[in-house]
Structure 1
């Protein structure tokens, strides 16, 4: 009887692992397909052969400039920013055990946005200065929210409410900066605030790409501890997890990635909010959700950008499309949580 139970459990685990591998592989393949579409499609549709020749360094009139200068940076910004948003959102939602506890809702991306808008509108800076300011502001925002939410005991609900309040305050700061800024800087700031891949340039991407390539593996390695942290502080400690060190490493890594992604593409709405729940529905809850969430985030950004470019007579920034998708889900989630008494 005991052997039958063990065999049944192991068979279920193998089935869940197989599902995780199949879904994750599908998401990775879908990302590759969307990347190819980003390179092939535009005002002019190029053949696969022409795109490959242009990427290999061959100079083809019209094709080389369009592919290497416009489409490739746009595609790289989309996939790396989407991956960073997806991972960071899933980390916060899982670690704080609440789907509302993501960087968009609790104000972390707004802190990075306020710093970036200040650099663009007031300091007339760009590139590295915006990236550094965004990371510092993101870390300062999450530190402030954590300090204010501690009280006598740490409360996730209090953290979310304080985060929403901080977000409202920082949105007011952004509005003020737009009012006092030079007129010629306002259009660029507004395009950036909507979340857009337009105008992405290769020299702006190294910081984002390097941070994702270094920090994402670290987060993936720590991903096995996320399920332990979900059990609560006492249970995680009793199982031998160093909760403080794990939480600090996860928060620092996530904030750095999402701040650099925000400084590159702007605050693309709801990607960090949607990626984790979608990935969890697809792969289940038995294995780490970090990689699937990152891939879902990348796919959301790439697909939304393609929809914004070609589905309408007017071209829309990617953030508007993700906002249209995410806002109804947020309303649905709030209604469901209210019905369950979780609000």
Structure 2
């Protein structure tokens, strides 16, 4: 007789009336991913025109002000590395929310037009209003553009409920129109403005400093805190609208707030560093395969996104010539992953 499978081991933490249950495999994978992200981040702080040893980097991070290591780490490299970690986590969570709501592995801000909306909103601020790339007004324009794109996709795709396939098809169409608008704006702009907008549109962490990172981090932190109250409704929505209602969830308000949070995360990253593609698509699926969860988990998706973007930035800076934008590396990696995912889905449904 084969043994009975009771599922993976779980642990429960209780404090007063509150309790948190988590799977041991998920917790161990999160710890391993966090350790890998910290290791890659320290490696990124070591590399550059002035190489530093891990000991020098750790000493500088712990407060040592001796030598030039403190200046190099804190003023030159740390904003970029922290941006890669935080922005990657934000994109991973954004993709996880959309894939959870639609129950479709292809649903991500890159595919359904939200990144294109944020990109178009940022271009309007840069080209029409003459605002510098990476500034707060550009981030605001990216948020407005992303929300408008989300509203358009939602209204056009809604027919007696929200279906994942219809959302993706409508999103692809909206994304194509917004990308055409972006090309038109760049072609009509002055040469120097068009060059700035084009570089920003590739998705790069090169111009990100403390001035860009701090406000972006504040918004991401606020959204992450808000998502703490939306995790349970999101899990209930994965069961379907009727099941979520029977469990006491207010379906439409919960879905609306989840979409707003996901759009805000994508738009903030786009406003600060430009559109960084495919992190939102790949991170949740990789996290699900590593943790073997039934649904899309937010924490592993965030850690995978942080790890992938940090590693991609190292490749863009040091493994390729001319210090290419990180968006080009994520496009190559994510494009290959998208092809694999499409082939895998076709084979699975035969």
TM-score between both structures, scaled by the size of structure 1? 0.90
- Of 278, 286, 289, 2:286 maps to 278
Secondary structure of the 1:251 match is: helix
Report the equivalent of 2:28.
22
Q: Measured at CA, do residues 91 and 161 of structure 1 come closer, stay the same or move farther in structure 2, by a change above 3 Å?
A: same
The answer for unaligned runs of 5 or more in structure 1 is none
Matched, 1:176 2:220: no
Moved more, 196-205 or 146-155: 146-155
Q: Measured at CA, do residues 184 and 238 of structure 1 come closer, stay the same or move farther in structure 2, by a change above 3 Å?
A: same
Secondary structure of the 2:8 match is: helix
Compute the displacement of 1:107 (Å). 0.7
Alignment partners' CA distance in 1, 2:252 and 2:161: 15
Alignment partners' CA distance in 2, 1:101 and 1:310: 32
- Of 70, 74, 94, 1:68 maps to 74
Alignment partners' CA distance in 2, 1:148 and 1:184: 37
CA contact (8 A) 1:224 1:288 kept: no
Alignment partners' CA distance in 2, 1:121 and 1:153: 38
- Of 211, 216, 227, 1:219 maps to 227
Q: Measured at CA, do residues 151 and 112 of structure 1 come closer, stay the same or move farther in structure 2, by a change above 3 Å?
A: same
Matched, 1:44 2:50: yes
Alignment partners' CA distance in 2, 1:230 and 1:261: 26
Report the equivalent of 1:130.
138
Report Cα offsets for 1:161-203 as digits up to 9, x if no partner. Answer: 1110010001001111111111112232222211111121111
Report the equivalent of 1:12.
8
- Larger helix percent: 1
Report Cα offsets for 1:84-122 as digits up to 9, x if no partner. Answer: 000000010011111111111001011111111222223
Q: Measured at CA, do residues 134 and 49 of structure 1 come closer, stay the same or move farther in structure 2, by a change above 3 Å?
A: same
RMSD: 2.3
- Of 31, 34, 40, 2:37 maps to 31
Q: Measured at CA, do residues 65 and 185 of structure 1 come closer, stay the same or move farther in structure 2, by a change above 3 Å?
A: farther
Report Cα offsets for 1:233-264 as digits up to 9, x if no partner. Answer: 11221222222222122111111111101111
Moved more, 51-60 or 163-172: 51-60
Report the equivalent of 1:228.
236
Compute the displacement of 1:66 (Å). 3.2
- More relative contact order, 1 or 2 (CA 8 Å, 6+ apart): 1
Moved more, 297-306 or 314-323: 314-323
CA contact (8 A) 2:124 2:141 kept: no
Compute the displacement of 1:288 (Å). 6.3
Report Cα offsets for 1:280-307 as digits up to 9, x if no partner. Answer: 0111215761011001001110000111
TM-score between both structures, scaled by the size of structure 2? 0.88
**Pairs aligned (count):** 335
Report the equivalent of 2:264.
256
Report the equivalent of 2:126.
120
CA contact (8 A) 1:77 1:264 kept: no
Matched, 1:322 2:330: yes
CA contact (8 A) 1:20 1:287 kept: no
Report the equivalent of 1:204.
212
Matched, 1:107 2:107: no
Matched, 1:190 2:186: no
Matched, 1:98 2:104: yes
Alignment partners' CA distance in 2, 1:289 and 1:184: 43
